[in-house]
Chains A and B, each alone.
Chain A
């Protein structure tokens, strides 16, 4: 009789082996969901970590600087002796809002127009050509946009604007932040408009409406919740944008806004402090968390608002 490795084993040992393999896979079967649950819970811990970090360090900050001063003082000037230091968040908030406003003036009309063109006018071929370019534009790192703002847009504005413009100003980074946000608004708005069923367009066209009238009076109202949500998300991005405003905006927090002059945003202040040699435990160190908290609340509100708009006012077809 030839040696057969399988038949040579006793039935008993084969049963044992099978049992062992079964129990092994049974362990994995039970373990897998738990391991994956831990992964999923980490995302919750990230949020908790952010809130915990910001709250505790901000609390320390408010032990040294009164919350009333933080909210009502209009001057932000921490880099001096503790007695003379001013911590009025309003100056930084105004900087951020200025940048955001300029960015939206650029991004909303251009982004929306591009979205209308792509969804209502462009042929499939044109769309196939333009959409990847918009994706590339959305993938350009913000440091590159910052470089572009400082070395190209600012000198250009200096030539165009009578009276010139400071090396660091609000206008140039504002415009470039707007350019950065265009692809986002364009693609989100286009998605919203694409979701409008073709039968509605056809009905309007059959009544004799021009393409422009179809776009503005039929498609846009139907897709309005998605379009507005994209604007709000764009605002949120502009508020949180850091490198462009740090590089081209300067570091002069102020409440009286002149777009040709230097300003400072909340994000730029945080970078300025991290770049300096501020020691751990100083009031300035804690101030970046108070600023970060304000920034976080601003963007969180915008994100929740965007979700609320797109859920509440969505038209279902």
Chain B
């Protein structure tokens, strides 16, 4: 009698191999599910949205008549919001990152800031809307203005920019820092002329990705009281405004099929804007990534 019953071993082996094969098939299926969804999503939006997509669609104001409706006010509103959000969030975000990486001592306070930023990143965007409504719209008396919206968005994306900038600064090799100090440069000179330029591509990539999130964000601005129906373009920082996602929300929430098609056309524009922003971010990342 042999110690090993070959038949049993063989049977079990086949069972295990089959399990492996089925599992692999399942995993592939799950992975391709996401790809399929993306495909269907894009297909649906193109089918619905191409009908009203035209040059006039971009340059017209919103209208009750679908044929004449456009996104001009929303598009410019989004640009105005970005004109506030981009500089504010960049300066605050990079400043925070430089402080944390270059100046901060390793103490409880620094750790507290770090944990605080991690937690801010997990706060739902609509809560930032409530914050903006109380602090900027009411307490600061800014009203539902471009400035209030832009500042709220800045705080919303701040954690993303801080984390990305910190990572970028951390990848700057220690040697070139030490070389700079060795040449007699001071700390501030080293940060300004050596560390910051070297980390800039990473910082820019992170900032652009964060801004592209802000472009697609709807909820906080809705809570702030951004208008849904706007037939004018913001003139200054204190003008009322709408943004592209809010205009899309307005069209989507109407029952008529025509307005859903308009929403789809607007989504195409929004996605193209995001695609361009993401491509720029990826381009910067790839272009400057090799040196290090």
Q: Is A160 an interface residue (CB 8 A)?
A: no
Q: Is A37 an interface residue (CB 8 A)?
A: yes
Q: Is A2 an interface residue (CB 8 A)?
A: no
Residues in chain A near residue B50, CB distance under 8 A: none
Which residues of chain A in 18-58 are interfacial with respect to chain B, using CB atoms and an 8 Å cutoff? 25, 28-29, 32-33, 35-44, 46-47, 49-50, 53-54, 56-57
Main secondary structure of the interface of A (DSSP, over half): helix
Q: Is A270 an interface residue (CB 8 A)?
A: yes
CB distance from A114 to the nearest CB of B (A): 4
Interface-located stretch among A5-13, A73-81, A83-91, A147-155 = A147-155
Q: Are A49 and B130 in contact (CB under 8 A)?
A: no
Residues in chain B near residue A122, CB distance under 8 A: 31
Q: Is A295 an interface residue (CB 8 A)?
A: yes
Q: Are A140 and B41 in contact (CB under 8 A)?
A: yes
Complex Cα distance A135/B22, Å? 27
Which residues of chain B in 143-194 are interfacial with respect to chain A, using CB atoms and an 8 Å cutoff? 155, 158-159, 162, 186-189, 191
Can you name 18 A-B pairs with beta carbons within 8 Å? Answer: A40-B96, A41-B113, A42-B158, A43-B162, A47-B116, A50-B127, A56-B134, A113-B26, A114-B31, A144-B216, A147-B248, A152-B44, A212-B16, A236-B122, A240-B125, A242-B126, A267-B219, A289-B130
Q: A39-B93, A142-B219 are in contact. List 4 more A-B contacts (CB 8 A).
A: A113-B30, A144-B267, A275-B228, A303-B118
Selected contact of B31 from candidates A47, A113, A152, A215, CB within 8 Å: A113
Which residues of chain A in 227-284 are interfacial with respect to chain B, using CB atoms and an 8 Å cutoff? 233, 236, 239-243, 246-247, 267, 270-271, 274-275, 280
Q: Are B31 and A43 in contact (CB under 8 A)?
A: no
Number of A-B pairs, beta carbon distance below 8 Å = 258
Interface-located stretch among B32-40, B61-69, B234-242 = B32-40
Please list the residues of chain B having a beta carbon within 8 angstroms of any beta carbon in chain A.
16-17, 19-20, 23-24, 26-31, 33-35, 37-38, 40-41, 44-45, 48, 91-96, 98-100, 102-104, 112-113, 116-120, 122-131, 133-135, 138, 155, 158-159, 162, 186-189, 191, 209, 212-213, 215-219, 222-225, 228, 245, 248-249, 252-253, 260, 263-264, 267, 270-271, 274, 278
Q: Is A292 an interface residue (CB 8 A)?
A: yes
Complex Cα distance A50/B103, Å? 27
Residues in chain A near residue B186, CB distance under 8 A: 25, 29
Q: Are A39 and B116 in contact (CB under 8 A)?
A: no
Q: Are A50 and B188 in contact (CB under 8 A)?
A: no
Q: Is A193 an interface residue (CB 8 A)?
A: no
Selected contact of B212 from candidates A139, A143, A144, A151, CB within 8 Å: A139
Residues in chain B near residue A35, CB distance under 8 A: 95
Count of A interface residues, CB-CB < 8 Å: 85
Selected contact of B131 from candidates A49, A137, A140, CB within 8 Å: A49
Selected contact of B217 from candidates A141, A183, A215, A270, CB within 8 Å: A141
Selected contact of B103 from candidates A37, A43, A133, A307, CB within 8 Å: A37
Selected contact of B274 from candidates A28, A43, A141, CB within 8 Å: A141
Complex Cα distance A46/B96, Å? 13
Complex Cα distance A295/B131, Å? 13
CB distance from A137 to the nearest CB of B (A): 5
Q: Are B38 and A117 in contact (CB under 8 A)?
A: no
Q: Are A29 and B188 in contact (CB under 8 A)?
A: yes
Residues in chain B near residue A114, CB distance under 8 A: 27, 30-31, 33-34
Q: Are B31 and A130 in contact (CB under 8 A)?
A: yes
Residues in chain A near residue B98, CB distance under 8 A: 36
User: A43-B96, A139-B278, A147-B263 are contacts. A247–B253 as well, Cβ < 8 Å?
Assistant: yes
Which residues of chain A in 297-316 are interfacial with respect to chain B, using CB atoms and an 8 Å cutoff? 299-300, 302-304, 307
Residues in chain B near residue A147, CB distance under 8 A: 45, 248, 252, 260, 263-264, 267
User: A113-B30, A136-B38, A147-B267 are contacts. A33–B103 as well, Cβ < 8 Å?
Assistant: yes
Please name the residue on chain B nearest to A113 by beta carbon. Answer: B30
Q: Are B37 and A137 in contact (CB under 8 A)?
A: yes
Q: Are B249 and A143 in contact (CB under 8 A)?
A: yes
Please name the residue on chain A nearest to B263 by beta carbon. Answer: A147
CB distance from A240 to the nearest CB of B (A): 3
Residues in chain A near residue B158, CB distance under 8 A: 42-43, 46
